[in-house]
Amino acid sequence: MVPEPIGLQARYDAIKTKIAQAATTDVHLLAVSKGQTAHAIADLYALGQRDFGENYVGELLQKRETLAATCPEIKWHFLGKLQTNKIAQLDFVYMVHSVARAIEADLLSKGANEPTCICLQINIGREQQKNGIMPEHAIEVAREILQIKNISLVGLMVIPPEGDRQQTKMHFQALARLRDEMEKTLNVSLPELSMGMSSDFEEAIAAGATWVRIGTALFGGIH
């Protein structure tokens, strides 16, 4: 017999349990809802989830409008590559995890009514096809961004290269070390590390993640 599919409540509870077991400090669950229907998001919201992440501005705007009345406490995060001609439309976003250039932060600052929290996306594996700042340029970019009003630089984000668990763990640890170096050099606090997805969030938590971005393990499907 084909086993019964695991329901949303069970998946959500299982992930929260794993996060709690792996964490020694506060770790936030960010539900990656790209490609999901507004109905699926509303179902997870009803279970208590409040933070949702999207990759595409158009999809995010549509879902925001659809869910505004039924999910009033939802906090939207943006995870995708930023397009300069669409950045102004993200003035309502709680946190942008994927800033890779100072100009992006500058454009975000112009549309927001209050400071926008951002993470710098670091290309830790130096992959040409991926968005992000090369590690050796992170301090320089952060220094520029720290001069921009209405922007709150709170941490770093990474999508590590595909590899085995040990390699992934090393990339997460490298991001944490870079964060520590940046805090010391720039004399700032960067408390957030956005790293870890469905297949590796426990390794990310062990390396210091404060936000884990989970789609597949929550909703099913491909993310």
Average predicted confidence (pLDDT) for the chain? 93
Q: With H, G, I as helix, E, B as strand and everything else as coil, classify residue 127.
A: coil
Exposed/middle/buried for residue 68 (C-beta within 10 Å: 0-12, 13-18, 19+): exposed
Q: What is the pTM of this model?
A: 0.94
Round to whole Å and give the CA distance between 55 and 199. Answer: 19
pLDDT in tens, 52-89: 999 999 999 999 999 999 999 999 999 999 999 999 99
Evaluate whether 178 touches 170 at the Cβ level (below 8 Å).
no
By residue count, the chain amounts to 223
pLDDT value at 1 more than 60:
no
Residues 192-210, mean pLDDT to the nearest whole number = 96
Which residues partner with 123 through β-bridges?
none
pLDDT in tens, 119-146: 999 999 999 888 999 999 999 999 999 9
Where along the chain do its domains lie? Answer: 34-168
Give helix 102-111 / helix 138-145 axis angle, nearest 10°.
20
- The reported pLDDT for the residue numbered 5 is 53
**Homologous superfamily in CATH for domain 34-168:** Alanine racemase (3.20.20.10)
- The reported pLDDT for the residue numbered 129 is 87
- The reported pLDDT for the residue numbered 222 is 39
Residues 103-129, mean pLDDT to the nearest whole number = 91
